[in-house]
Structures are given as C-alpha cells and as structure tokens.
Amino acid sequence: MSSSIFADGSSKVKASIQHINATDNTKFRKLVQRVAEKAGRQNETIFTLDELMKLEKAFDLPIDNIKQMIETIEYMFLQSAYHLVKPQILENDLVNEQNFDENKAKIFVEQWSASAKEIVERLKSSHIASHSLSDIRWTLDVGITQASKSKVKRPTAIYEFQLKNEQTQQIENLQTEFNKDELYAFFEKLESIQSQLDTLMT
C-alpha cells in the first residue's frame, strides 16, 4: 500500500506527471506559481481560454494535456493544504511516490512553502458550494421504441436531486435521466470521489 499523502494516481495524473517532468524548469515554475495564486479560490478559473491556447504553443502540448497538468498541480496543492504537509515530507512524496523529477519536485515545494499559508486560509474561508444535497428520489422508466419490426425496451433511470440553496434555504429540484452506460459511468465517478474522501479521512 502506498504511503503517499495523495490518493492513488489515475492514469491521467500519471500521464500529467510525465508531461511535467519533460517541461522546461522555467516554464514549470511560472505555471506552478500561477496555479498556487488561484488554488482554492471559488468561482475563478486558473487560466482563460486565450491563456490556455498560448500555453498550448509554449509547452508544445495539446490543450487537453495542458488542462490535465493544471488540474494535477492544483490537486496536489489542495491535498497538501488538507494534510498541512511539511515541505520535506512533500518533496520526498513527490520524488519517491509520484515519480517527480527532482528539480520539478523542488520547484513545487518551494512554491508550496511560499503559498501554503495563503492557500490554507482560502480553503478555511471558502464555501464549498452554493447548494447542498437534501434528498434523492428515483424511478425506472421502461420506454418502448420501434426497431425494425420488433419493439425494443429502452430502460432509463430518472433521478430527482433535491438541492437546498444555502443562501435562501429554498429547495430546488433537478431531474436527470441515465441509461445503463451513463449510470455506470456516474457510479464510477462517485466511487472515485469516495476513494479520495476516504484518503482525506484516514
């Protein structure tokens, strides 16, 4: 079992770290600094679309890979804040558990040392969301469609999420439908979230 302060890395995170290790140190330092300035801020994007397009050219990577790198860096800052991790422990984790290049790890840790207090304070004062989940209702609908000359059942799960507005305290209803594949993908995402929550609580 990994002793990392981070949840077990997904394939996307591992791919992002490979791109990070291949990045010029000066460019990586600037990227990390920008992410640290925005990490934990509510309702703010770290980079605008125009800025992402410039990064795409600067890093010579597809924009999706750039986004994954940014998300990975932000995730690591936020995890470090939740754990209030010390710089030396963080550096050891990045190098030994996450396979960071030593120079990239030092750059990240230097920025964490400079920004840790501010990031932690942002997280303490921020509201996670404007709505909270009050209740869930669901039902199954088996629709019949005409395919060729036979009738085909198309079952869907209909979910109604009751959301409480934290400012007005009013309940708002949100309905959505899932077919089998969509529902499976939704549950996979929930399991991933649960895994990260479990990591934070242990």
Q: Any idea where the domains of the chain sit in the sequence? A: 11-125, 131-201
| pLDDT value, residue 143 | 67
Provide the whole-model pTM.
Answer: 0.62
Element spanning 145, H or E: strand 131-147
* Cβ neighbours of residue 129 closer than 8 Å, sequence gap 6 or more: 166
Which candidate, 202, 201, 160, 158, places its Cα nearest to that of 182? 158
| pLDDT value, residue 107 | 97
Mean pLDDT by 10 residues, the chain (202 residues): 60 85 96 94 84 94 92 91 91 93 97 94 71 83 61 79 80 88 83 63 46
For 18-53, b/e burial (b = at least 16 CB within 10 A) is ebbeebeeeebbebbebbbebbbeeeeebbeeeebe
Contact 175, 201 (CB under 8 A): no
Adjacency order of strands within the sheet including 131-147: 131-147, 150-165, 171-178
Element spanning 177, H or E: strand 171-178
Query: What type of residue sits at position 136?
Result: I
